[in-house]
Structure 1
Amino acid sequence: MRQIYLLFAGIIIVIPFIINAVASPTPDGSFLFNKSFTDTVPAGKVPDSSKVNTIRDTLKPVKANLPSTDSIPAYTDSTGTDSLHLNGPKLSKDSLDAPITYKAKDSIILVVPDKKFYFYGTANTKYKKTSLSAERMNYSQSTGIMEATTATDTSGNPYGRPQLEDAGQAFDSDTLRYNINTQRAKIYHTRSQYGEGYVHSEQTKRAPDNSIFGFRNGYTTCNLDTPHFQFRARKIKVIPDKLVISGPANLEIEGVPTPLFIPFAIFPITHGQASGILVPGYVVNAQKGMGLENGGYYLGLGDNMDLTIRGDVYSYGSWSLTASPTYRKRYHYNGGMTLSFANTRFGDPSVKTEFSRSRDFRVTWNHSMDSKARPGVNFGASVNFGTSSYNTYNVYDYSTRVNNNIGSSITFSKTWQGKPYNFTAGLTHSQNLSTRDVSISFPAATFTVNTLYPFQPKEVVGKAKWYHKLGIGYTTTLANNVTFKDSVFGKSKMFDALQSGMKHNVPISFSIPVMKNFTLSPGVSYAEYWYTKKTIRTWNDTKRVSIDSVGGIDTTYQAGFFAARQASASISLSTALYGMYQFGKNSKIKAIRHVMRPTLSASYQPDLARSAYYDLRYNRGGDSIRQSYYTSSSVGVPSEGRSGSISFGLDNNLEMKVFSKKDTSANKEKKIKLLDGFGITGSYNLLADSFKLSTFNIYARTNLFDKLNITASGNIDPYVVNARGKRLDKYVWQEGSFSLGRLTSGTIAMSTSFQSSDKKSKAKEQEIQNLENEQSTDAAFQAQQRQLAAVRKNPGEYVDFDIPWKLDLSYSLSYSKTIIPDSGGVVTSFNQYLSFNGDFSLTPKWKIGMNSGFDFINRQLAYTTIYISRDLHCWQMSINLIPIGTYRQFSITISPKSGILRDLRINRSRTFYDL
């Protein structure tokens, strides 16, 4: 093996100066003697005698007990260097091709009659990248054998074991012997590392081709001197940088042999790609039967591509197949794709009334482009698309099960250097797995001309004129959108629902400072909408929509070219007002600052889109609402009616200064945000025939004490409604109610997180940062995605034992009350949900965790997972439990932490369905 070869290189470090010392018990003063063996003097030149014996002239002798009278004095802290000059005299065949350094903390001794050379006290030799260290070393010239051994302290304990290091690989042994002539080595009680594995051998032989043969061996991935487990084998062979091959082996745990025997074993130690079989895991599933999961094959296709194929098969006939290719080109792009197909069977095929099957698929694709590959051009993709029932029968992890929405995006963008043009194009997709609604927008494109200032000179002399800030821009948007149920994908109904359109927008704006603290911003905007389809919806009294009711809405489509327009002119005025309240000197609260940012604007909009709207009746009572022919348009719909509005808004910010001992400044103050923002917006249409006052939008957001995030928003309607929910042109306060109006919709969300301190947090952050840096130049992104998928599937196997406990909480409340024509009237929606997840350590090696939530409306626990983990140093045990719900599961896994033995796991899992 390469490591043993490095050992040989380290041993022969001492050869040149050993031979130089055997002719005499003391260094010879003759130039010719030293010249023949040190190879340090160029041909034809005789140096001064004071420069010949480097060690003798530079080191001071001290008293020492010598093994014989025919020995040179011992020197403390002895060091030296033998070097080779290629332009010097003719060299002997055993000369070296690089400088060698050597040293011994105690002494270096040459015994001439025995032709032996001794190193004492932390001896070390270095040759190129090879380093050999030991407490004792000796070399015999007569046999050509170099020996490195330990020493014994006053208590009889050995110390200073021989250590060989080269290129990050290390060898540790009791005794090491190497024959320079035959290039063979024999090592006793050695411990070597090969990749993630360690080999312990009583005796090891090294062949001239660097291969290693071991006798009475143990192979393990545990890095302890006495490993927790190992495979005991009588014979083993190591092919450097390729394989560790073993004969019959027995698994031994804590020194106790187990009944598990294997006829042979092959452990790869190659770096980089290595094609091979992926061992499946055994499972028991109540719906699918006994099965083998995640078995397959990994195929390395070079530095730029690889392919992983995995499959599942079950005794009741269900199966699935997944292909995951990844690709990469450093400094250009990287990405990966997953194609999954699954066939799930239910019931007995012989009984047709009870038998059914579900054929599902899922496609994911991620692609990212290095920004430096083509400046100004970027292409990226994040695709997640499939059948709604794929997760139902093939996915069990918590985060996927509780998320009913998936989406995709593929984007291309180009920016012209030095020009105000931008272009983007792409595809977007959203899918609700619960309602089975799918929305796809493709192709979609936007071309933008950034704001131009046609009246601004290239060089402004003196004070700028107001018209210098007059800017004009242009944006055009092309969009094609279709919304359908996933059951009609690829069918005519899907294409019938396709909507296409284009929107052009030309804004003209500029800003003028007024009285220093105010900003006046006039503006004009024109927009034009183009459509290819008109949707006409009419009430049908005879349409039967259910057993109990008659009447519904019919929908027809009209193809062609249709256009709608919208224009507006506006002017706005904004400023900021500051208020400060100072507290007394003895108060811990120093001050409270309030910032108000009021805005006031006026706008005019002619009624250019009246022809785009019609009256839609939506119930048997004759109630109707105004609706656009292009309601489902992909580019939006202009608003109807003439408008002369005055809009207003008020945003607030509230901060507090308190006394703080931690502040290192002289003020000893700390700033606390009480409210990041809260405010209200609305408008009043002076030209409207009715309903002149708009709804009020209110909002608030804060992060209290940097721990509690709170966001809230709502919509208040100032008008009253009749018994059927239809708005009347009468304000709420005219009915004697002291309020702004009715709350038609609102949301509030709160979240917080608590955890104990982590001493290794900085190191982990640095590791994450390094990984993110690698993603921009390598394929680490795909590996990380696969790792995250494994974490979601088995959270108990990936826990952080450095954090004793943590808890994450989030709460959300939403309310809405709106008129939906297809439902026949007013629909009220109310949702309230609390989610929580966390874990805690029973002991430094035991951890319990849970992910769950509570639905207050249905009064039941949400999808829940519980896991228990045990750190076994080189092994890890995890128990994953889904105790309630339609899909219940239990699994226990014990597996090594090392990736090379990841498939050597004990797994037992059961899945139960309540359909």
Structure 2
Amino acid sequence: MSSSYKNNYKKFLRRTYLAIAGVTIAVPFIIDATAGIKPHAFFGFNKILADTVSPAVGPKSIRKGGAGPVNSKDTVIVPKRGDSSAIKLPGDSTLKDTTIVTVDSLHLPKASKDSLDAVVTAKAQDSMVLMIQDKKFYLYGSANVKYKTIDLTAAQVSFDQNSGVMSATHGKDTAGKPVGRPVMNDGGQSLESDTLEYNFTSSKALIFNTRSQYGEGYVHSEKTKRMADNTIFGFKNGYTTCNLDTPHFSFRSKKIKVIPDKLIVSGPANLEIQGIPTPIFIPFAIFPITQGQRSGILPPQFVVNQQKGMGLENGGYYFGMGENLDMTLRGDVYSYGSWSLTASPTYRKRYKYSGGMTISFANTRLGDPSVPSEFVNSHDFRIMWNHSMDSKARPGINFGASVNFGSSSYNQYNVYDYSTRVNNNIGSSISFSKTWQNKPYNLTVNLSDNQNLQTRDVSLTFPDANFSVQTIYPFQPKELIGTAKWYQKIGIGYTNEFRNQAYFKDSSFGKKEMFDALQTGMRQNIPIAFSIPVMKSFTLSPSVNMTEYWYTKKVYRQWDPNKTNLSTGQLGALDTTYIPGFSAQHEVSAAMSLATALYGMYTFNKDSRIKAIRHVMRPSIGVNYRPNLNSGAYYNMRYNAAGDSTRTSYYTGAPIGVPSEGTFAGMTFNLDNNLEMKVFSRKDTSANHEKKIKLLDGFGLSTNYNFVADSFKLAPFNLYARTNLFDKLNITANAILDPYATKPNGQRIDKYVWETGKFSPGRLASAGITMSTSFQSKDKKSQDKQKALDSLANVTDPNTLLAAQQRQLQMVRNNPGEYVDFDIPWRVDLSYSFNYVNQVRADSGGLVNIIQQYVNFNGDFSLTPKWKVGLNSGFDFTHMQVAYTNMYISRDLHCWQMSINVVPFGTFRQFSITINPKAGLLRDLRINRSRTFYNM
């Protein structure tokens, strides 16, 4: 190519670029000068528009077929965006082939006094038509109009400028079904209807065949009038909590009034089910639709109790006393004279603390007063309190409380779910803790209480203080350079425990017997230890431990043949004498342990599904020396009429523990193992296609041998094992093997079991095993439920959540049939426990041999997607009887639910059938029939 040709080519390109740029700049000015204002699919209009616009005279539109002009004074047609042809107006055949209609630019003067106080914006998916002379405009296809807080969507919308009325209607699809029903949202209110008329001047609306939602409720009205203050008047209405267009039930009323965010008031109403009127009428109805805290009445539930008679339960009042405090007051009353009253205040202060309390008083009258042997008049109480402190309120300081205290017979007469009635132990705790910042000091102060409701034993501990100093390294420099020396790893700690504790019967609370049983003690402990590696694979850990015990009272127990045994009613029992006075005991020990880990691997051939089995052993062996500094703290205690005795301490049962008796100079041994297996798995995406399975998470034993003891040098073997096979079967087992033989009365003799001619490592003193598993089908809505659980983590008031969960749990226990999960077709939970004890217990009079076995199973299955059958039961092999059993049947009725609960046998028997709406707003509107029976 010649250079002249190249130059000509470049000139041609430059001229072409300049021409394109000129046309690009000029075209908008030409269009603007000839076409005026162009229509848009989104615009703003005002009431003053049609009154102040002069008639526009524009050029004639061009028809494809060369037809005549179209007068642009009357109509502005806004075509669908992206469509080259104009949208045809209904009844106008002259616009069939129109490509575009334009008008001259509109000159808008200042707004007049009668204009709207806000701009109205509108858009449509199909087309918008503005008729200037008639002062009307039309929106077609998914129209949307916004004015202040009003957001209206409909298939078609029209506006008449003369009357100021906007109308919205639905359209129809090709099958003739209505689509695009008008929906108006205003300040949280949602109205769906067939036809809607809204007056911009008066801010009133007239709505036909509307369906509105208020919280959990829906209102269906043939005709609705909405006032300027958003108050709504309805004509021929139906109120329901069913979300279907044709609800399963509703309360039909001729007139209703809706006060936004407050309540719905209705005149006389009739309950309809499946559109069929029922004989149930109510003179009026009030449905609250308030948001937030509101005081109000809590309606009671009618019940029939065999022992207490007919009654009303859980009726009361809720007091809303601001964002920091509220209280719920509930009461029960029965025809035979029993009653109860419960007050539940809760308090909270954001970012500071939150808590709640439950105080209950109950008076129970059972039986006939004329028959004293069968008559019961019990006065009971229960106090529950929980308190939690925000960790950010005061860093380093925390205060919490969980109190559950009451009379021993409260659960027996006032609690109806089985799990609570058979729970014989309740406890309380109040704690305060402080951690010094940048210092190794910690202080904890507790108050704790434990009650056995069956034996009426109480254990009260207060104060329970613990002050500790974290391990410090006095020989370690502030800046460590290089590898630390062995002496730089020496650590020293300190712990001081002060405890005041009493064991007594609940009837002795505050009396002399309680203070006689009060024991006070303090224990100080100073551990010195360090660890160093030895020969790479071993860890050597020398340690020295010094402990000091302070007591304020001795306990002397001896057999009294003239004392009555309260448990058996026979003569002969242990008598307890308290000897006040300060005493101190000391204990010093030195130890050194050596630990390592051993790995073993067994591999299989390539064709086997089992690839390998790995065994890990963690043995630990140590030497320990403890001199005998506490020989005066023990004595021989006789515990039965046969004269048998055992060695026990004067401080048995002391709150700070008891030092060990005798000199110990021996060895300790511990062995921990775990077993894993690798198998072939197609689900594994890696190249190895392997899956790891834990056969045994842990199993092992521990014991010790005292070289200087006069007898019984070898300690019992403690065995344990735990595993979770295939992530389904949980197994936990433990056992104690005593290597020494025993006499017929259970007393040990200084002779090994294998020396008596038995091929055995020892006598089984105690053992236990627990197994549990669970199976269920796939949850259809597992992802949605997981999201609901995740949302609970964002609750700002955890105390309120805890109280709500407790109430919900109580309701589930009382009526499991009302809270079944229909999304899980079937579910089975199984558990088995076995416990064996064969040893001497002084309080029981000698050798005790106990075997306990129990199996528990519960589950449910769906007969159909809407029918569910469930069973909770168990079997006690010790007494060879069926345990507490609860059977239930549930039916999902969409917006209602039916449940039948049966407790067929046992001390507490019950039958109930309940039909109630699912919505919380109408949950008290239930049909309930229940019967309760007691076998005292």
TM-score for the superposition, normalised by structure 2? 0.89
Distance, in Å, in 2 between the alignment partners of 1:532 and 1:548 is 33
Partner amino acid, structure 2, of 1:278: L
2:726 is equivalent to residue 705 of structure 1: yes
| Equivalent residue runs for 1:822-861 within 5 Å | 822-861=843-882
SS at match of 1:796: helix
1:66 and 2:89 equivalent?
Answer: yes
Aligned pair 1:310/2:347, yes or no? no
Partner of 1:50: none
Distance in 1, matches of 2:97 and 2:501, equals 90
**Is 2:912 aligned against 1:891?**
yes
Q: Structure 2 counterpart of 1:580, which letter?
A: M
Gaps of 5+ in 2: 1-41, 60-75, 102-107
Q: Name the CA distance, whole Å, in 2 between partners of 1:62 and 1:532.
A: 104
Supply the distance in 1 between the matched residues of 2:867 and 2:523 (Cα, whole angstroms): 60
Contact 1:18 1:117 in 2 (8 A): no
- Which of 10, 19, 23 matches 2:49? 19
**Amino acid of the structure 1 residue aligned with 2:391:** S
Q: Is the 8 A contact 2:50 2:161 kept in 1?
A: no
| Cα deviation digits, residues 727-773 of structure 1 (max 9, x gap) | 11111111111111111111110000110011321221221121133
Deviations 1:681-728 (A, max 9, x none): 000001111111111101111111110000100111111111221111
* Pairs within 5 Å for 1:285-364: 285-364=305-384
Residues 612 and 629 of structure 1 are in contact (CA less than 8 Å); yes or no, is this contact kept in structure 2? yes
Deviations, residues 128-175 of structure 1 (Å, cap 9, x unaligned): 553211111111112121111112344443221101124554210011
Indicate conservation of the 8 Å contact 2:79/2:86, yes or no.
no
User: Does 600-609 or 815-824 show the bigger shift?
Assistant: 815-824
Q: Which residue of 2 aligns with 1:629?
A: 650
Q: Deviation at 1:372? A: 2.1
In structure 1, the residue matched to 2:613 is: 592
SS in 2 for 1:763: helix
Amino acid at match of 2:610: I
Q: CA deviation at 1:673?
A: 0.4
**Rg: which structure is higher?**
2
**Structure 1 residue 901 and structure 2 residue 901: aligned?**
no
- Gapped regions of structure 1 (runs ≥ 5): 1-11, 30-52, 79-87
**Matches of 2:398 and 2:435, distance apart in 1:** 9
Q: How far off its partner does 1:254 sit?
A: 0.6
Secondary structure of 2:655's counterpart equals coil
Mean alpha-carbon deviation: is it higher for 321-330 or for 225-234?
321-330
- Equivalent AA in structure 1 for residue 89 of structure 2: L
Quote the Cα distance in structure 2 between the aligned partners of 1:71 and 1:508.
Answer: 105
- Aligned-residue CA RMSD in angstroms? 2.6
Distance 1:506 1:152 in 2: 87
Deviates more, 1:602-611 or 1:94-103: 94-103
Q: Look up the match of 2:816.
A: 795
The residue type paired with residue 684 of structure 1 is: Y
Alpha-carbon distance in structure 2 between the residues aligned to 1:539 and 1:118: 104
1:16 maps to amino acid = N
Match for residue 201 of structure 2? 181
Q: Alpha-carbon deviation of 1:369?
A: 2.1
**Match in the other structure for 1:232:** 252
Q: What residue number does 2:671 align with?
A: 650
Report which stretch shifted further, 517-526 or 126-135: 126-135
> Paired residue for 2:897, among 868, 876, 881?
876
Describe the shift of the 1:176–1:657 C-alpha distance in structure 2 as closer, same or farther (beyond 3 A).
same
Contact 1:26/1:72 (<8 A) preserved: no
Letter in 2 for 1:19: L
Provide Cα deviations, 1:854-900, integer angstroms capped at 9, x if missing partner. 10010001111111111111111111111110111111111111111
1:467 corresponds to which residue? 487
- Residue matched to 1:816: 837
- Separation in 1 of the partners of 2:113 and 2:485? 89
Letter of the 1:62 partner, please give it.
Answer: S
* 1:760 paired to 2:781: yes
Q: What is the deviation of 1:530?
A: 1.0
Deviates more, 1:887-896 or 1:423-432: 423-432
Shift of 1:388: 2.2
Tell me the amino acid that sits aligned with residue 658 of structure 1. Answer: V
Query: Given the alignment of the two structures, is residue 540 of structure 1 paired with residue 570 of structure 2, yes or no?
Result: no
What letter matches 1:459 in structure 2?
E
Q: Secondary structure at 1:429's aligned position in 2?
A: strand
CA contact (8 A) 2:911 2:931 kept: yes
CA contact (8 A) 2:896 2:916 kept: yes
Cα distance in 1 for residues equivalent to 2:741 and 2:44: 101
State the aligned residue count: 872
Counterparts of 1:434-445 in structure 2, within 5 Å, are: 434-445=454-465
In 2: Cα distance, 1:409 partner to 1:782 partner:
18
The CA distance in 1 between the partners of 2:850 and 2:533, in whole Å, is 46
Query: 432, 451, 461: which is aligned to 1:431?
Result: 451
Q: Is the 8 A contact 1:674 1:702 kept in 2?
A: yes
- Relative to structure 1, the CA distance from residue 203 to residue 371 in structure 2 (aligned partners, 3 Å threshold; closer, same or farther) is same
The residue that corresponds to 2:19 in the other structure is: none
The residue number in structure 2 matching 1:616 is 637
Alpha-carbon distance in 1 for matches of 2:448, 2:708: 39
Paired with 1:163 and 1:134, the residues of 2 have a C-alpha distance of 6
Task: Work out the CA distance in 1 between the residues paired with 2:645 and 2:100.
Answer: 102
1:20 deviation in Å? 4.4
1:734 corresponds to which of 752, 755, 758: 755
8 A contact 2:197–2:205 mirrored in 1:
yes
Following superposition, the deviation at residue 125 of structure 1 comes to 1.8
* 2:673 equivalent to 1:673: no
For 2:161, give the aligned amino acid: Q
- Residue 108 (str. 1) matches residue 128 (str. 2): yes
CA distance in 2, matches of 1:847, 1:137: 49
Q: Does 1:715 align with 2:745?
A: no
Shift of 1:430: 2.0
Alignment of 1:467-486 (within 5 A): 467-486=487-506
Q: Which has the higher contact order (CA 8 A, sep 6+)?
A: 1
SS in 1 for 2:46: helix
Q: Offset at 1:542? A: 4.4
What residue in structure 2 maps to residue 497 of structure 1? 517
**Which is further off, 390-399 or 828-837?**
390-399
Q: 1:697 to 1:167 in 2, by over 3 A?
A: farther
Call closer, same or farther: CA 1:252–1:610 in 2, change over 3 Å: same
Does structure 1 conserve the Cα–Cα contact (< 8 Å) formed by 2:475 and 2:488?
yes
- Asked if the contact 2:313/2:331 (under 8 Å) is kept, the reply is yes
Q: Alpha carbons of 1:76 and 1:899: their partners in 2 closer, same or farther (altered >3 Å)?
A: farther
Q: Distance in 1 between matches of 2:152 and 2:100?
A: 17
**Partner of residue 526, structure 1:** 546
Contact 2:837/2:851 (<8 A) preserved:
yes
Match of 1:281 among 276, 294, 301: 301
SS of alignment partner, residue 842 of structure 1: strand
- Over 3 Å counting, the alpha-carbon distance change for 1:170 and 1:58 in structure 2 is closer
Q: Contact conserved, 2:356 with 2:799, CA < 8 A, in 1?
A: no
Structure 1 residue 517 corresponds to structure 2 residue 547: no
SS for the counterpart of 1:774 is coil
Post-superposition offset of 1:65: 2.9
Amino acid at match of 1:133: T
Aligned with 1:745 (options 756, 766, 774): 766
DSSP-derived class of the 2:793 partner: helix
The match for 1:221 is 241
Code of the aligned partner of 2:300: P
More off after superposition, 136-145 vs 481-490: 481-490
Letter in 2 for 1:572: S
> Matches of residues 80-479 of structure 1 in structure 2 within 5 Å?
91-93=111-113, 95=115, 100-127=120-147, 130-166=150-186, 168-479=188-499
For 2:79 and 2:721, how far apart are their aligned partners in 1?
85
Call closer, same or farther: CA 1:67–1:105 in 2, change over 3 Å.
same
Q: Is the 8 A contact 2:80 2:125 kept in 1?
A: no
Per mean C-alpha deviation after superposition, the further-off stretch among 302-311 and 485-494 is 485-494
Q: Distance in 2 between matches of 1:285 and 1:74?
A: 83
Quote the Cα distance in structure 2 between the aligned partners of 1:72 and 1:779: 67
**2 CA distance for matches of 1:192 and 1:74?**
44
